[in-house]
Amino acid sequence: MSETAAPRASALQARLAELSRFARAFRRNPLGMVGLFIGLLLILAAIFAPWLATHDPYAPDFGGRLTPPGAEYWLGSDELGRDIYTRILYGSRITLFIVALVIFTSAPIGLFMGVISGYFGGWIDAVLMRITDVFLAVPKLLLALAFVAVLGPGIVNAALAITLTAWPPYARLARAETLAVRNADYINAIRLAGASPIRIIARHVVPMCTSSMLVRVTFDMAGIILIAAGLGFIGLGAQPPLPEWGAMIASGRRFIFDQWWVAAMPGAAIFLVSLGFNLLGDALRDLLDPHAVRRT
């Protein structure tokens, strides 16, 4: 083995050992395992929806409209006779798409803003944080409604609107983490060795923010689902006949007292998935956040 390959192998072994310790610690958290199971269930439902579905999610069947849960319609049918179970399965794809689009756009924006603000300080910090404060001063749902009203209804526009409301907490978190390490001894040593600010930020500051950002992302998934469902509920999210969970609740509110399953089933799906991401976030916080109180 060459001289350069040996350190690489040792580093890889160290990472694998750390990952193994993390997995063992995570398995000792039963609520975290429940959250992980729910998250994996959502992903599997989205991937295998065509094979798990029992009906066409879009084709109406007026002869079977408002049928209660039973052998034909496992979770009942809606006002057009469409199978609610099947529509929830296909709706998980829309939910995952919105969550992924928001996370993969808002988290990098917030990380960039926060790290740049915390590392350079001065007028850059003042300007970027005042912009962040403006977005934080307005309730998320209200700000999302304003952006969707400008952009127009639709899945992508709803996700972009949520992104514009979701990045400020990431910026605040990344700034706090950066302020805690920017004057650390090892950062000063790297700076004296001639490393550029971009290299220091990319190689040494951003990795220090990763664990806290991951915990925040997991917690925010539940909020993103709720905001997306709220936009769908008022008709500004996914448009009919797409089986978006919020829109399904909106169409079933007329039958809430007699045919309760039309609105209750997609509502239960939102509750279950949100609960799962919150439980998963709690477990990750206990393991990754150095400021959290460790459970014995």
Three-state SS at 113: helix
Q: Is the confidence at residue 290, as pLDDT, over 80?
A: no
pTM: 0.86
Among candidate residues 116, 114, 89, the one with its CA nearest the CA of residue 216: 114
Give residue 293's pLDDT band: very low, low, confident or very high (50, 70, 90): very low
Cβ-Cβ contacts under 8 Å for 249 (sequence gap 6 or more): 229, 233, 263, 266, 267, 270
pLDDT at residue 88, as a whole number: 95
pLDDT at residue 197, as a whole number: 87
* 206-220: pLDDT as tens digits: 888 888 888 889 888
Q: Is the confidence at residue 75, as pLDDT, over 80?
A: yes
Average pLDDT over residues 225-234: 89
**Correct CATH for 31-57+78-288 of 3.40.630.30, 1.10.3720.10, 1.10.260.40, 3.40.50.360:** 1.10.3720.10
Share of the chain above pLDDT 90, in %: 43
Q: Is the confidence at residue 4, as pLDDT, over 60?
A: no
Q: Is the confidence at residue 291, as pLDDT, over 60?
A: no
Average pLDDT score, the chain: 86
Share of the chain above pLDDT 70, in %: 93
Distance CA 211, CA 221 (A): 16
241 cis-preceded (ω within 30 degrees of 0): yes
